[in-house]
C-alpha cells in the first residue's frame, strides 16, 4: 500500500501558494494549507473542492501558530514529507521598480525580514524533526531572482532595474538558508532547494507580469517532488539553475 504524502504550503490562501497547493493535491497528496486568516482560508478550501486539503492557521511570524501547527501535524500524521515556504511579502513602502537603498525604513526592513526570512527559518527548524521522519523529505524555499547577487551586479541583467532593498535582501538571506540547510542535511534523504517562480500575476507581481499562477507554481512543485537523484542546495527556475 502506497504511503500518503503529506505536504504543508505556507501563504496558501491565494496566488502562488493556492496554486502550488492545487497542483500538489492533484497528484493525490494530502495538502495542509497554511493561512494567516481562517476566514480567507475558507475561500481557498472552496477553490480546492474535491481535493484532500485542510486549513492550518499559520502566521509564520507567530511562535504560537508554529507550535500549534507542529503539534497538529505530529498528532495527525506523524511526519511531514514536503514543506513549501511560500509565505512572503513586499512592504508597501517599497516600490517594486525602484532602488530603495537610500530611503527604506528600519521598520520596513524588520517587517519584511520577519515574514520572508526569520519566519521561514523558525518554521523549518520547528518542523525539521517531522521532516526527517519522511522517507524523502523535501523543503522548497520560494525565493526570487531578485535575491541573486550575481544578477544584481551584472549590468546586462534586468534585475539591475528592480532594487527594493528589504525584499531583495530578505530573499538573498533565504537563499543562504537554503545553502546552509542543504549542507547540514547532507547524507540524509532530505533535499532543500530555492525556487524562482518567475514574474507572476499575483498581488506582489502585479497585473503587468507575463506569467500566470499555473506556470508560476511549477518550479516549486517540481522541486517538492524531486526523486532520490534530484539536486539539493540549488536555485532553480523551471529546469534552469539560477546563479546565487
93-146 pLDDT, tens digit each: 998 888 999 999 999 999 999 999 999 999 999 999 999 999 999 999 999 999
Q: Which domain CATH number covers 198? A: 3.40.50.720
Give the H/E segment covering residue 84. Answer: strand 82-85
Rounded CA-CA distance 174/115 in Å is 11
User: Pick the catalytic residue: 14, 70, 171, 234?
Assistant: 171
Over residues 201-211, mean pLDDT: 65
Pull the grid cell for residue 22: 492545487
171 included as an active-site residue: yes
Which of 86, 116, 119 lies closest to 17 in space, CA to CA? 86
User: Pick the catalytic residue: 2, 132, 163, 167?
Assistant: 167
Rounded CA-CA distance 203/195 in Å is 18
Residue 158: what pLDDT?
78
pLDDT exceeds cutoff 80 at 200: no
Whether 177 is in a domain gets the answer: yes
Number of structural domains in the chain: 1
Whether 92 is in a domain gets the answer: yes
Rounded CA-CA distance 28/8 in Å is 14
Q: What share of the chain is helix, strand, coil (3-state, %, to 5)?
A: 40, 15, 40
Pairing of strands 235-237, 240-241: antiparallel
Whether 194 is in a domain gets the answer: yes
Name beta bridge partners: 193. Answer: 140
Domain that holds residue 187: 6-241
Which of 198, 206, 174 lies closest to 87 in space, CA to CA? 174
Residue 212: what pLDDT?
77
Whether 1 is in a domain gets the answer: no
Whether 22 is in a domain gets the answer: yes
Whether 126 is in a domain gets the answer: yes
Residue 206: what pLDDT?
65
pLDDT exceeds cutoff 70 at 204: no
- Which residues have C-beta within 8 Å of that of residue 177, sequence separation ≥ 6? 117, 120, 121, 124, 141
Amino acid at each position: 500500500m502506497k504511503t500518503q504524502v503529506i505536504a504543508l504550503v505556507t501563504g496558501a490562501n491565494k496566488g502562488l501558494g493556492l496554486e502550488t497547493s492545487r497542483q500538489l493535491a492533484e497528484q493525490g497528496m494530502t495538502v495542509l494549507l497554511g493561512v494567516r486568516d481562517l476566514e480567507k482560508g475558507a475561500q481557498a478550501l472552496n477553490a480546492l473542492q474535491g481535493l484532500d486539503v485542510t486549513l492550518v492557521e499559520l502566521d509564520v511570524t507567530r511562535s504560537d501558530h508554529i507550535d500549534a501547527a507542529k503539534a497538529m501535524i505530529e498528532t495527525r500524521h506523524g511526519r511531514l514529507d514536503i514543506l513549501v515556504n511560500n509565505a512572503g511579502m513586499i512592504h508597501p513602502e517599497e516600490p517594486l521598480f525602484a532602488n530603495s537603498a537610500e530611503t527604506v525604513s528600519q521598520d520596513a526592513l524588520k517587517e519584511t525580514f520577519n515574514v520572508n526570512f526569520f519566519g521561514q527559518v523558525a518554521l523549518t527548524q520547528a518542523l525539521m524533526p517531522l521532516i526527517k521522519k519522511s522517507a524523502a523529505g523535501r523543503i522548497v524555499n520560494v525565493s526570487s531572482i531578485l535575491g541573486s547577487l550575481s544578477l544584481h551586479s551584472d549590468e546586462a541583467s534586468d534585475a539591475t532595474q528592480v532594487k527594493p532593498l528589504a525584499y531583495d535582501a530578505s530573499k538573498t538571506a533565504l537563499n543562504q538558508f537554503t545553502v546552509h540547510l542543504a549542507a547540514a542535511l547532507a547524507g540524509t534523504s532530505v533535499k532543500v532547494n530555492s525556487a524562482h517562480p518567475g514574474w507572476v500575476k499575483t498581488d506582489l507581481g502585479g497585473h503587468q507580469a507575463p506569467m500566470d499562477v499555473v506556470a508560476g507554481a511549477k518550479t516549486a512543485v517540481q522541486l517538492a517532488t524531486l526523486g532520490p537523484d534530484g539536486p539539493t542546495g540549488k536555485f532553480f527556475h523551471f529546469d534552469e539553475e539560477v546563479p546565487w
